[in-house]
Amino acid sequence: MSANSRLTIAAHALAWIGLYQRQGHEVATSEQIAASANTNPVVIRRLLGELRRAGLVESRRGAGAGWSLARELGSITLLDVYEAVEPGPLFAMHRTTPDQGCVVGHGIQPAMRGIYQDIEETLRHELARVTLEKVLRDVLAAPRQPL
Amino acid sequence: MSANSRLTIAAHALAWIGLYQRQGHEVATSEQIAASANTNPVVIRRLLGELRRAGLVESRRGAGAGWSLARELGSITLLDVYEAVEPGPLFAMHRTTPDQGCVVGHGIQPAMRGIYQDIEETLRHELARVTLEKVLRDVLAAPRQPL
DNA sequence: GGCTGTCGTAACGATAATTGTTACGGCAGA
DNA sequence: TCTGCCGTAACAATTATCGTTACGACAGCC
């Protein structure tokens, strides 16, 4: 599985915005989040754009612009984020259709589709159990660097 | 998630070999399997090579060469295949280390690592519940093409 | 009304993984 | 010795992600 970090970065951004707002600020800028995640602001804006389309965050333009949460961290789950930023299914079928004249080639795709659906359903269930509130709690529970 | 079909093709190959052997044949060739999966024999050989390293199949060289199962279909699970052909973890961390001076940047990786471990453990458990015997059964249960 | 900071998005290159393909040496049975 | 297939290297094509630059649009503020 080509590992992509989209879910990780998106969770990072949401946790950052959530904590920042709890410290009294109204909006967070993509530049601030990018500095924390050590990446480019455009990468953050792209990801947050997808989260906005999913109704998880809001953006404000003009002067004093930036991003804010559209929902409480406790009501956002990793499944919400996953569905917002991950396009395709977990496992793919053959890229060319198998030989339909062969018994296995004919039955393999319906068989695997059913099996994959069950597995992905379980994955979604697990993702839905983790709220961004818990993510932020775990983040803050990380041991501080010893001096 | 960039969808890769490695697990699907590997399961296809195993089911094909298993059925072929039940029909009385000793070994299956990569060319036969490739014809069923509608791909190149080298792709099959590469995948089966990984399954061989995992102890799931055996290969014979020389004349009358080919592939055979090293274990019964009923004792091979999708988890065995998954571990044999999928290299990395399901979700990746940041490709560059986040800002350790930021509270979120410092705590995000340990937090996500723990969460991802739990989720992947559940995924493995689900994959382990499906044997290749069941895959073949589902394959054969697919409705035949109406004439 | 202009200035300024940030979003929104297009465009492009770099990188990496997967897949398909050709090629060729090596092995073992007939 | 001949033949069929494995085992593996090498390379191109395709695709996704990520980083980067650039620039127009927007809205508050002076």
Residue-wise pLDDT for A91-113, tens only, equals 999 999 999 999 999 999 999 99
Spacing of B65 CA from D2 C1' in Å: 15
Write down the mean pLDDT value for chain B. Answer: 95
Whether A31 sits with its Cβ under 7 A from any strand C atom: the answer reads yes
Would the pLDDT of A132 be above 90?
yes
Residue B95 DSSP symbol: S
Whether A6 sits with its Cβ under 7 A from any strand D atom: the answer reads yes
What domains can you pick out in chain B, each with its CATH number?
Answer: 6-141 (1.10.10.10)
Question: Which of chain B's residues have a Cβ under 8 Å away from the Cβ of A139?
Answer: 103-104, 107-108, 111
Instruction: Measuring from the CA of residue B9 to each C1' atom, give the nucleotide at the shortest distance.
Output: C19
Tell me the average pLDDT across B121-140.
Answer: 98
Would the pLDDT of B27 be above 50?
yes
Instruction: Using the CB atoms, write b or e for A27-58: b if 16+ within 10 Å.
Output: bbbbebbbbbbbbeeebbbebbebbbeeebbe
Instruction: Measuring from the CA of residue A33 to each C1' atom, give the nucleotide at the shortest distance.
Output: C6
| Residue B120 contacts residue A36 (beta carbons within 8 Å) | no
**Phi, psi at residue B74, to the nearest 5°?**
-70, -15
Closest residue of chain B to A40, computed from CA coordinates:
B96
- Which residue type is seen at A1? M
| Assigned token pair, A108 | 């393999």
Cβ burial of B121 (10 Å; 0-12, 13-18, 19+) is: exposed
Which residue, counting CA atoms, is nearest to the C1' of nucleotide D5?
A: B65
Query: CA of A125: how far to CAs of A24, A89, B27, in Å?
Result: 33, 15, 41
| Assigned token pair, A62 | 């003009």
pLDDT single digits (tens) B85-117: 998 899 999 999 999 999 999 999 999 999 999
